Amino acid sequence: MKYMPNSEKCPLPYSPFKSCTVPRPIGWLSSISPDGVENLAPYSQWQNLTFDPPMVMFAANQYPDGRRKDTVINAEKTGWFVWNMVTWDLKDAMNTSAMAVPYGESEISLAGLKTVKADLSDVPMVADSPCHFECKYISTHRLKGNSNVGTIDIVFAEVVKIHVKDEFITEEGKIDIMKARPIARMGYHDYTVVDNMFEMKIPKASPDEADGLEGRP
């Protein structure tokens, strides 16, 4: 099977595109409107971009009627949002938080989540999440698609504060991912959970290269 998605009809009943780019980490993003309404939504078009300084991005598709996502509007208006790690235990709350509630209503109470305030802004952070990034808005790049939903706002931000709960740090000083069990997005309605891992080192890597991959500052 092969096809050109921009000019040919997909020969499969479901588009393979999102199911090839897997697993995608979930940017579970909290934000606040200028008049104080708290907001939370998952974004799987989410990625780290670089580490010195740490920068991230997410891509928000517009609604079919052309409205932009609340997370984008809040990030642009207040300059802040927070990334919350989604774990297996938080998966149902994450799913509820994806519901499209009118601007001005909060998904946080709907999902029954406890929050704590971020250190650098008034953005709420999901209290039961093991890791958070406080993200400072940099810019938005808009890419026009074939439709309103295909049109995206790509939001770039710098991670200016990282929180990791002490109970999720191993004796070696690494994040205990096996304990946190983050979930990630697959295609269709499918997800996966990180509950196994293996280690690999580049043969004959220079110390700088090895340190960079391992994450030494």
Ligand X SMILES: Cc1cc2nc3c(=O)[nH]c(=O)nc-3n(C[C@H](O)[C@H](O)[C@H](O)COP(=O)(O)O)c2cc1C
Residues engaged in binding ligand X (CB under 6 A)? 26, 39, 41-45, 59-61, 69-71, 95, 98, 100, 185
Closest CB 100 distance from ligand X, rounded Å: 4
Q: How far is CA 92 from the centre of its chain?
A: 16
Considering beta carbons, is residue 69 or 132 the nearer one to ligand X? Answer: 69
Residue 170 is which amino acid? T
Task: Look at the block and give the residue holding tokens 């698609």.
Answer: 145
**Would you say 39 or 84 has its CB closer to ligand X?**
39
Please count the helices (runs of H) and the strands (runs of E) in the chain.
6, 12
- Closest approach, Cβ 87 to ligand X, in A, equals 13
Q: 164, 130 in Cβ contact below 8 A?
A: yes
Comparison of 147 and 170: residue with beta carbon closer to ligand X: 147
Minimum distance, C-beta of residue 99 to ligand X, in the bound complex (Å): 6
Nearer to ligand X, 26 or 93 (CB): 26
CB atoms near residue 69 (< 10 Å): 24
The burial class, CB within 10 Å (0-12 / 13-18 / 19+), for 51 is exposed
Cis peptide before 25 (omega within 30 of 0): no
| Cβ atoms of 157 and 56 closer than 8 Å | yes
CB of 114 to ligand X, least distance (A): 19
* DSSP character at residue 92: H
Q: In a 10 Å sphere around its CB, with 0-12 CB exposed, 13-18 middle and 19+ buried, how is residue 201 labelled? A: exposed
CA 151 to CA 143: how far, in whole Å? 6
Q: Which is nearer to ligand X, 89 or 211 (CB)?
A: 89
Shortest spacing between CB 172 and ligand X, in angstroms: 31
Least spacing, CB of residue 39 vs ligand X, in Å: 5
Comparison of 111 and 131: residue with beta carbon closer to ligand X: 111
Beta-bridge partners for 161: 134
